Structure 1
Amino acid sequence: MAEPERDDTGDLRLGAVRAMMWLTLASAMLMWASSDRAKHVGWPAMAVETLPVLPLVVLLADPTRRARILGLAALLLAWVSPFALFGPDWDWSPWPLAIAALCVFRGRTAWSLFVLVIGGAATAMMLLDAPFPRGDDRLLDLVWIVCVPASIGLAVFGTHAMAAMTTRLHTTRGELTRLKAREERLRADAELRRCVGDGLRTLEAELAATLGADPRDQAGRLEAVAATGRHIAAAIRGTAGAYRLSPAAPPAVAPPAVASPAV
């Protein structure tokens, strides 16, 4: 049976989707850094504020269960660490936690944590009056606090889920290809077994008839048996060759029927 040509389009699509995910995360980091620079935040403070990105990258790489637990603990610790240095006066946008909530957990738990993280952070930021001042723009501040982390979290989660779906589809396609190849091999094996079995029964019947025939007729009967054997061998080669040339089932080549040759 001919081997199917390799199709790399699945690998290319998966690589493109993963690249989109990392580019989305990089864009969020750049936006966060630009916001800090606009507020004249120093580079040491910016470095501390971007610490949550490191464990987040590990979590997005689909680690093992143990690494996932350690990554979540490191992410939470890295996100709260700026409080020890700056207090509440820093841009403590919870988008790393929002991304982790959607990408690490599943189902209702993920969405509940997503809403809890963004809603809790927004409420605390407004109550503590940080990092935005209270005043006429309070409603705009609230929209900014909620919408920016939510949009970043949903964007990264969307590309992460798309990458996971593409991986599953690519794996399923490979499994289907292997199952189809195995089915064709089993079909070829059954066809060859049938062809060989029918041929051997034909030869057995003709040899039995030859042994019981008149000695003067045995030479002609043996020649007929040899011709039958050659026909059976050709039928077997034709069946096997058809499977090598095409993955589709070849037409069955019937062996000669059991019959006593004419003398």
Structure 2
Amino acid sequence: MKSSVEDLPPRVARAMLWTALALLFCVRLFDAAGAGVGTEALLLAAAPYPPLVALLAGRFRPVVRYGLLAAVAVLALMPFALVGTEWGWLPWTIGAGVLVALPARASWPLLGVVLAGTALVGLLAGEHADVWAWRPLALATDALIVFSLHTLSGLVADLHATRDGLARVETSRERLRLDAELRRTVGAGLRSIAASLAAAAEAEPGDARTGVREATESARRTLAEVRSMAGDYRTADVRRTAPPVRSPGLVRAILVAVVLMQAVRPVMFTFTSSGDPRWLYLFIPLIAVAAALLLSRPSRGRLAALGLLVVPVAWPGSYAAGTLAVIAGLWGLFAGAALAWMRPPRSWAIAGAVLVLQVVLCVSPPPVAPLTVAVTNVVSTLIMAWLFYSLSRLGELVVLLERARHELAAAAVAAERARIGRDLHDVLGFSLSAVALRGELALRLLDRDPVRAAAELAALVPVVEQAQAELGSITGGRVRLELGREIDAAVEVLEAAGITVRTEVRTGALPDGTGTALAAVLREGVTNVLRHSRARTCSISVTGSDGTVRLRVVNDGAARRRTPGAGGTGLESLAARAGGRLSAGPRPGGGFEVAAEFRSDPAGLGGDADGVDPVAGAELADR
């Protein structure tokens, strides 16, 4: 039966534990009732359940766990002091409490002491070998059932709670790695530009030309590097091979232990009670093959072979020899395998048929078993089925959750790389283009207008400083652009390119998210004017009314229309995420227009679109 992360949440995993605990209580209750134990003793025997439930339900400090374990032990031993061992109530709650409350290095040796003590008490009480030898097996089985389901349900809850944790860790690591890479490459380019500009500012006009040329060439090289890296980040296949995830070792170990203990009991019963040990020549190979099938890879063929092996032997085989009925002890595991390996309703039908056969076996062939014995046998079969199904189901879920964590982490890393690539292109691309363009202008002015050339060089210093600051904000995921500053920068760059600029700004204060979104659109629009048109005039207008702010960038050049997603950073997705719209294309009368419209308070910019962590500003989205 296939599983998924969604159809088995932690609360269902916990329900599996409580169901198993209730079934164990019922089987011990009917076992005691069948032995004729009085009501007072039954109530007293139920006393260890409350502290055991508390121990299973919470995560306490060691001192509290040890106190609850002591309460379980004292309350579990009290019935034995009153009524002895004849009634068959097992101190399995002590075994379960030991495994749950203590660390592994102490719990398993102590469980061995409990098992040995249980067998020794029965031996000293003069019980039949089949009885005193069975007690440790039953105690160990019950304790392992509770411990394994408790451990796995806790693991499922932890994995659910930390599904995003691995994504955050891997994303942080990728940010740090890319930050170091960008500072080593792009940062070095920006430092080189700054150094060249500083040298040019202090040099004589004739010598300044070399510094300006070096700064300009470095800006163009760095710009090409930025575009190349941004493209690689956005398009490279960054899928990582997740480490192989296997079913938890605990699941396998517990299943092996339970299967072997259930296999030992028929052999032990045949050896001590049947009076004819020759039956072992049949039972040992049969049980060995059945155990191998139960512990093998799930398949319908193996399930069918298992059913044909263990069901007909016990019934109707017990009509031929009553000893064969002992194989019915494996029916519960067969039913559990059907539930785990097949889909409903077939799995339910098989499990239901097994329970019906268990009832039939209690009455036919004769003699008819007492009602308490029949109920005990049916519930015992149900417990084994529930254990096998629960362990298989939870083990599979753990695998799926672990795989989902790695897949989510890989997706988050890819999204973070794409975001950094987009922001790298949008934020630094504009600044470096401005440095290159104005550096070329300064070179042309050095001879004929040294004063203006010096002004252009002085204006480049804050542009480079801003680019250096923005480089750190990109990997930090906290890119903020101020619309007013971007309008001023756009005017300066366009005018440096010889383009006449007209601006109109009629809007009040804007939230950071809206301002960043508008500034990103403006940067890209201006960059497109510089790279893809021969414009002589450009108008920039920002107006707001009725909770909406509109940006228009219109130029008289012949820019070619570009398809969203082709080589740039996709303003359409940014507009959609910010709760707005964007259009770009030629105007009927000539020229080219970029128009964007956003809500003044965009709800879409309140957190990270990738669901990894909240962001303070707008993410520059893919075009």
TM-score normalised to structure 2 length? 0.33
Q: Choose from 350, 354, 376 the match for 1:113.
A: 350
CA distance in 2, matches of 1:20, 1:157: 13
Q: 1:108 to 1:159 in 2, by over 3 A?
A: same
Is 1:55 aligned with 2:293? yes
Give the Å deviation of 1:192: 0.8
Q: 1:161 to 1:100 in 2, by over 3 A?
A: same
Greater Cα offset, 156-165 or 252-261:
252-261
Conserved? CA contact 1:122–1:142, under 8 Å: yes
Give the Å deviation of 1:47: 0.8
Is 1:95 aligned with 2:332? yes
Identical-pair percentage = 18
3-state SS, counterpart of residue 128 of structure 1: coil
CA distance in 1, matches of 2:399, 2:246: 11
Conserved? CA contact 2:306–2:334, under 8 Å: yes
Give the Å deviation of 1:127: 2.2
Conserved? CA contact 1:55–1:71, under 8 Å: yes
Amino acid at match of 1:143: V
Match of 1:8 in 2: none
Q: How many residues align?
A: 238
Match of 2:300 in 1: 69
Query: 4+ residue stretches of structure 1 with deviation over 6 A?
Result: 83-86, 253-256
Give the Å deviation of 1:179: 1.9
CA distance in 2, matches of 1:186, 1:76: 54
Q: 1:55 to 1:236 in 2, by over 3 A?
A: same
CA distance in 2, matches of 1:37, 1:217: 111
Describe the superposition over 1:99-130 as per-residue Cα deviations: whole angstroms up to 9, x where unpaired.
Answer: 2221112333322221112212431563233x
Match of 2:508 in 1: none
Describe the superposition over 1:209-255 as per-residue Cα deviations: whole angstroms up to 9, x where unpaired.
Answer: 43664733356367448746754663465346xx3xxxx52445889
The structure carrying a bigger strand percent of its residues is 2
Describe the superposition over 1:149-197 as per-residue Cα deviations: whole angstroms up to 9, x where unpaired.
Answer: 2221112212221112222222222222222222211111111111222
Match of 1:45 in 2: 282
Amino acid at match of 2:392: H
Match of 2:173 in 1: 2
Q: Choose from 477, 480, 500 the match for 1:249.
A: 477
Greater Cα offset, 115-124 or 138-147:
138-147
Q: 1:30 to 1:249 in 2, by over 3 A?
A: farther
Conserved? CA contact 1:101–1:110, under 8 Å: yes
Which fold has the larger relative contact order, with Cα–Cα distance below 8 Å and residues 6 or more apart in sequence?
1
Match of 1:26 in 2: 260
3-state SS, counterpart of residue 106 of structure 1: coil
Q: 1:12 to 1:85 in 2, by over 3 A?
A: closer
Conserved? CA contact 1:28–1:152, under 8 Å: no
Is 1:149 aligned with 2:381? yes
CA distance in 2, matches of 1:88, 1:126: 15
Describe the superposition over 1:51-107 as per-residue Cα deviations: whole angstroms up to 9, x where unpaired.
Answer: 32221211xx4x4xxxx1321232133225757998453113022421222111233
Amino acid at match of 1:45: L
Structure 1 or 2, whichever has the larger Rg, is 2
Conserved? CA contact 1:21–1:156, under 8 Å: yes
Conserved? CA contact 1:101–1:114, under 8 Å: yes
Structure 2: runs of 5+ lacking an equivalent: 1-171, 176-244, 496-623
Instruction: Give the CA RMSD over aligned residues.
Output: 3.8
CA distance in 2, matches of 1:178, 1:156: 33
Structure 1: runs of 5+ lacking an equivalent: 5-10
3-state SS, counterpart of residue 327 of structure 2: coil
Q: 1:28 to 1:85 in 2, by over 3 A?
A: closer
CA distance in 2, matches of 1:99, 1:237: 59
Question: 1:191-202, aligned counterparts within 5 Å?
Answer: 191-202=423-434
Match of 1:14 in 2: 248
Match of 2:222 in 1: none
Q: 1:109 to 1:139 in 2, by over 3 A?
A: same
